[in-house]
Amino acid sequence: MDIRGIWKVKEIRMPTPEGEQVFTPDNLPDDDRFEGCSELMRFQTEFADDGVLNTLMFVPEEMKAEAAKHGAVVREDGYTVVESTTWKEENGKFYYNTKVEGEVFGEKVDPFTEIPITVDGCLLYNYGMVLLERI
């Protein structure tokens, strides 16, 4: 499987005291505890050819000038990069750099974590909390 390209959020899985809650673009949360989910649903994830993983946010036409004032570079497709990291493929599995650093029991933590692929070809991203589907 080739994961290069643009992916969108299909669902967000949030653990709660009542159990896991699943939100989709058609089933957005109305609870203040999950206010960030609605924004996250609008992001796209780009696995670029050069091993860069970009989180993209759409910038409406009327906001482009304001975004530029704050240093945002809006691409031709109307999206701007809000966060970047790296991704890699090893032995048929995909990984992304979480940027988590440190040690556990004296062993350095590997910042790369696996991106599992579901049976229907989606990606379980962000520690399995975000299900991405190809655009």
74 beta partners: 80
- Give φ, ψ of 42 to 5 degrees: -85, -10
State the Cα–Cα distance between residues 61 and 80, nearest whole angstrom: 12
pLDDT of residue 38: 76
How many alpha carbons fall within 13 Å on the CB side of residue 88? 7
pLDDT single digits (tens) 49-99: 999 999 999 999 999 988 889 889 999 999 999 999 999 999 999 999 999
Residue 36, pLDDT above cutoff 90: no
pLDDT of residue 133: 97
Neighbours of 115 (CB within 10 A): 21
Q: How confident is the model at residue 41 (pLDDT cuts 50, 70, 90)?
A: confident
State the Cα–Cα distance between residues 121 and 48, nearest whole angstrom: 18
Q: What predicted TM-score, i.e. pTM, was given to this entire model?
A: 0.86
